[in-house]
Amino acid sequence: MLESAQRMNLGFLVTRKGYLKVLGAVIQAALERGHRVTLLWDPLETKPGELIDQSDLALWPTAVVRTWERGTPLLPALQAAGIQALVGTRLYYVLQAYGYEAEMATLAPAGIRVFNVDYIFDTIVLDPVAYRRVDTTFYLSEYQRDLHWQVKAEEFARLGDPATWRRRSAVCGSTMMDQLPRVDPAEVRRRYGLAPEQPVVVFMSLKMAVPEKWRQAVWGSEPRLVRVARALRAGHPEWIGTILRTHGYRDLVQSVRRFCQRTGAALIVKSREKNEDPRFLRNMADVALGDERVYPYTSMELMAIASLCIHFQSGAALEAAFAGVPSLSVAVPQSHLAAYPTFDEVYSARPGTMQNFPGIVWSLPAEAVAAKLDASRLEDFRIDPAERSRYVEKFLGFDDTRSSERVLDEIERVSSRAPAVARSS
């Protein structure tokens, strides 16, 4: 517990459930240190499944909740609440998207510090100009920070002295992973009606609501002839055979269902409202879930009981690896993401990358999954402890579930220095 003179009023901008699960452990750690915590709650979120309600915020009963609606001035709201430092997931991106780029420049002169927490490795695409508006940009690992500086080298060069900007970044690990020790696996199993020793396969559903033409034409739920027409309009007549001969997504899920039945595993389908799952997916699951909880968040609870995780080149690879769960990364076309400068690192099947790290996460093209599962046992997917250590160090930075403590250490260190007005120099 901090001395009273060291305690601060930390404001957390909570706009989406997905962002809140990143901040949950930081909020808890701040309260345990004796800081005053103010949750700036935006009740206007319209993205499906992302609206935060009062029951989510009630998880921190000693925090002060203040409503802040996007579109209204930010600085007066911060000053009225007495906030000394503003912390948020993807904070620069969020405020910029809401139209607050100009107002961000007023926070430093008002003495309000600003801290940007990473959301599942996405800081690698952050516009470097954010360093002018943010006191500290947090990264999961040294590798992630170096990758960001590499792919955005020209933009960083325009910011001036590298030493100055390096001081405005910190490697802290993943605050999301700090929640793992808070999960009670036995309670999670009881909640979902699972036997104490039953194996569990967690299937993270594919996001269908994206501008990816293959996904809608080949794996979509529309009638076959409609999807054939989609393929032709997209200039891909080679897709037509697959559309006419297979059931696409359904065939893959059926192969997972067979694997579970043969191995005695329960099949848990974890989805999100925005994924727009086909109806058959829920029908094939023993348990079907959305984002039921934010602290500990649902996916982390599932990793605490999982024997295997199957996903579609998603951030679940990081969660599974941290929890010591092997994962199968199903490769599907991701053309809507191909312009990202770090596409190869995050979505490719190149060995040693996030989605293909033997002993941790295995990459397979979608059409090869059924044959692989039909010929495999659960024991064939086994974590290599040494490779897991390398994977965690590379992509997540730390393995000690103290990332939130490191974030707070940095916030306290920076806030004890000269006034924030000097930040933009």
- Mind listing the pLDDT tens digit for each residue in 146-192? 999 999 999 999 988 888 888 899 999 999 999 999 999 999 999 99
Higher pLDDT, 306 or 121: 306
Statement: residue 419 has pLDDT above 60? no
pLDDT, average across residues 322-336: 94
Structural domain tally of the chain? 2
Query: What does the alpha-carbon distance between residue 38 and residue 186 come to, in Å, rounded to a whole number?
Result: 33
Domain identity same for 85 and 192? no
Domain identity same for 379 and 408? no
Domain identity same for 38 and 167? yes
Statement: residue 36 has pLDDT above 90? yes
Single-letter residue type at 370: A
Q: Which of 32-46, 132-146, 155-169, 410-424 has the lowest mean pLDDT?
A: 410-424
Query: What does the alpha-carbon distance between residue 423 and residue 43 come to, in Å, rounded to a whole number?
Result: 31
Domain identity same for 158 and 234? no
pLDDT (0 to 100) of residue 420? 52
Domain identity same for 213 and 146? no
User: Range of 93's domain?
Assistant: 4-174+400-422
Percent of the chain with pLDDT over 70: 97
Statement: residue 90 has pLDDT above 70? yes
Domain identity same for 380 and 414? no
Higher pLDDT, 349 or 387: 387
Q: Which of 75-79, 239-243, 321-325, 413-417 has the lowest mean pLDDT?
A: 413-417
**Residues 183-199 pLDDT 10s:** 999 999 999 999 999 99
Domain identity same for 331 and 380? yes
Average pLDDT, the chain: 93
**Residues 188-245 pLDDT 10s:** 999 999 999 999 999 999 999 888 999 999 999 899 999 999 999 999 999 999 999 9
0.85 exceeded by pTM:
yes
Domain identity same for 33 and 166? yes
Tell me the CATH number at 238: 3.40.50.2000
Domain identity same for 304 and 349? yes
pLDDT (0 to 100) of residue 4? 59
pLDDT (0 to 100) of residue 354? 96
Instruction: Read off φ and ψ for residue 212, nearest 5 degrees.
Output: -115, 110
Domain identity same for 223 and 124? no
pLDDT band at 425 (very low <50, low <70, confident <90, very high): very low
pLDDT (0 to 100) of residue 346? 85
Statement: residue 423 has pLDDT above 70? no
Domain identity same for 188 and 83? no
Domain identity same for 12 and 120? yes
Q: Per the structure block, which two tokens stand in for 361?
A: 């996460």
pLDDT band at 6 (very low <50, low <70, confident <90, very high): confident
